[in-house]
Structure 1
Amino acid sequence: MKLLFLGTGAGVPAKPRNVSSLALMLLEERNSVWLFDCGEATQHQILHTSLKPRKIEKIFITHLHGDHIFGLPGLLGSRSFQGGETGLTIYGPKGIREYVEVSLKISQTHLKYPLSIIEIENGTIFKDEQFEIETLQLDHGIASFGFRITEKDKKGTLDAKRLRSEGILPGPIYKRLKKGEIVTLEDGRVINGNEYLGPDLKGRVLCILGDTRPCENAITLASRADVVVHEATFSAESERMAWDYFHSTTVQAATLALQAQAHTLCLNHISSRYIKEDWDQLTEEAKAVFPNTEMAFDFLEMTIAPHKN
Structure 2
Amino acid sequence: MSIARNQGTLTRSIAAHAALLTWTVIALFPVFVIVINSVKSRRVIFADPLALPTAETFDLVGYQTVLAQGDFLLYFTNSMIVTMASLFFVLLFGAMAAFALSEYRFRGNLLMGLYLALGIMIPIRLGTVAILQMMVATGLVNTRTALVLVYTAQGLPLAIFILSEFMRNVSSDLKNAGRIDGLSEYTIFFRLVLPLVRPAMATVAVFTLIPIWNDLWFPLILAPGESVKTITLGSQVFIGQFVTNWNAVLAALSLAIVPVLVLYLIFSRHLIRGITAGAVK
Write 1 or 2 for the structure with the bigger share of strand: 1
| TM-score computed with the length of structure 2 as normaliser | 0.27
Q: Higher RCO, 1 or 2 (CA under 8 Å, sep at least 6)?
A: 2
Higher helix share: 2
